[in-house]
Amino acid sequence: MAEEKKSKTEEKKIEIPENLKNLVKEIEELKVKDLAKLVKILEEKFGVLPQASIVAAAVAPGAATPEAVEEKTEFNIELKSPGASKIQVIKIVKEITGKGLKESKAIVDATEKSPKVLKENVKKEEAEEIKKKLEGVGATVEIK
């Protein structure tokens, strides 16, 4: 409820030119589905970038922004194959996961049958760094 009051006060701070007031009011009353359609039409007709759709969706208070607009911030690192330098991969897996040597070896051995997630919900920079380390010793890695 506090958020509703906050958004209404924020609306009052925005100065809307007289000739656009009716348009803004109509957009505010649109359903989320209709607003998404409108955004798509505007993108296609005027060549507007997808980032601008965030602004268009923000015009309608209480309307949810489409999930497709959100940028992924957390990634999972999946070891697909240890490659030829299995021992080096085991050492890196041990370092990454913080598990013991035996557990790390079991993870690496299991990847020979099917890919295994080494670490979940990692920031992009860290995921790229881990991928680089593992690929440097011949492993096949995928960031999801």
What's the number of domains the chain is made of? 2
Tens of pLDDT along 81-100?
888 888 998 999 899 888 89
The number of beta carbons lying within 10 Å of the beta carbon of residue 92 is 21
Boundary of a domain, candidates 10, 42, 69: 69
DSSP string, 104-127: HHHHHHHTTTS-EEEEEEEEHHHH
CA distances in angstroms from 28 to 7, 63, 66, 130, listed in the order given: 12, 9, 16, 45
Range of the structural domain that residue 28 is part of: 18-69
Boundary of a domain, candidates 45, 69, 93: 69
Is residue 78 domain-shared with residue 54, that is, in the same domain? no
Q: Look at residue 77 and give its three-state secondary structure.
A: strand
Is residue 46 domain-shared with residue 104, that is, in the same domain? no
Residue 28 has pLDDT above 50, yes or no: yes
Tens of pLDDT along 54-83?
555 555 555 444 454 467 778 888 989 888
